[in-house]
Amino acid sequence: MQAVVIDKVLVTGGTGFVGGAVLRELRARGRNAVAAVRASNVMLPAGVPTIQVGDLAPETDWRPAVGGVSVVIHAAARVHVMREITTDSLAVFRRVNVFGTLNLACQAAEAGVRRFIYISSIKVNGEQTRLGQAFRPEDIPLPEGPYALSKWEAEQRLRELAEASGMEVVVIRPPLVYGPGVKANFLSMIRWLSKGVPLPLGAIHNRRSLVALDNLVDFILICINHPAAANQTFLVADGEDLSTTEILKRTAIVLGRPVRLVPVPTCVLKFGASLLGKQALAQRLCGSLQVDISKAREMLGWTPPVSVDEGLRWMAQKKEAASSCGDSHP
């Protein structure tokens, strides 16, 4: 196989956490990158040209965006929704993540796009692993919930399209991504640590894989033109698995805050969570989720350029810089 010749890279989800970082790095490396956006008034990295296409939907016309494009990096998706109000959330997830993605990919293939990089999720593999038994790309998928199911179904449709059209598809399944601008549970953790609030999480001995935003972006960019990446599925992580207690300790250190963790036994935490109806949260805090990145290392020669401590430090520095400018939402 020959390496992909890069003419133009189209990025979806450019206003998001991962897509925005991909666009910034593409521009920094002098790549010809363009962002597909819903509306004209969105916030994007400086200097990034845009093409307005509307929503990620089955009926969206992508032809103006994919024309002349060599590679599509598809980071847009419908993600987890708190307080879901629809009675059929799987149908809503499928409309966006499966049929919306397939519509984009079909039009990309028709336009002559050579490679389609799909940012999936480790949740396709499952929600947790046994301690010391990491997920691998070739494992039988065990997705749970509408989001994970929609991601898995999209992967299958993309593989079928690749076989039929000849367009190369690369699937990347990251675990929890952290870095400047992180939200959701990781942001809540940072806020609690910043306040110095004692947390009952000082005796958790699980193992979890994380991926720094810089590491994920670096891997995505390698997949743009590495010939061995064609039609492969990769798991990506920092290469160092930590317990929840270790993650909290290291984050507190880089934030410059005292580490106040109370060593409450895991069984007590799980029991208390069950009484409060927070079993899912307890599973994320106490359960293991490990990722084997040996395929990425061996097939692509990739090594995570950023360590966990460096990733956490960079996240903390950006948080402090934002706070000094009056931004209370890191």
Cα–Cα–Cα angle for 250, 269, 85, rounded to 5 degrees: 95
Residue 271, classed as helix, strand or coil, is helix
Residues 6+ apart with CB under 8 A from 251: 189, 190, 193, 312, 316
pLDDT at 330 over 80: no
What is this structure's pTM? 0.90
Q: Where are the alpha helices (DSSP H) in the chain?
A: 17-28, 63-66, 89-93, 101-110, 145-165, 184-195, 213-225, 244-255, 266-275, 279-286, 294-300, 308-324
Instruction: Give the residue numbers marked as catalytic.
Output: 147
Percent of the chain at pLDDT > 70 equals 91
Domain regions of the chain by residue span: 9-243+287-324
Give the pLDDT score at 319: 54
Domain 9-243+287-324 CATH (choose: 3.30.930.10, 3.40.50.720, 3.40.220.10, 3.40.47.40): 3.40.50.720
* DSSP string of 177-195, one letter each residue: EESTT--HHHHHHHHHHHH
In angstroms, the CA 313 to CA 60 distance is 40
User: Which of 34-48, 206-220, 269-283 is the most confident on average?
Assistant: 206-220
65 residue type, one letter: A
In angstroms, the CA 83 to CA 80 distance is 10
pLDDT at 322 over 50: no
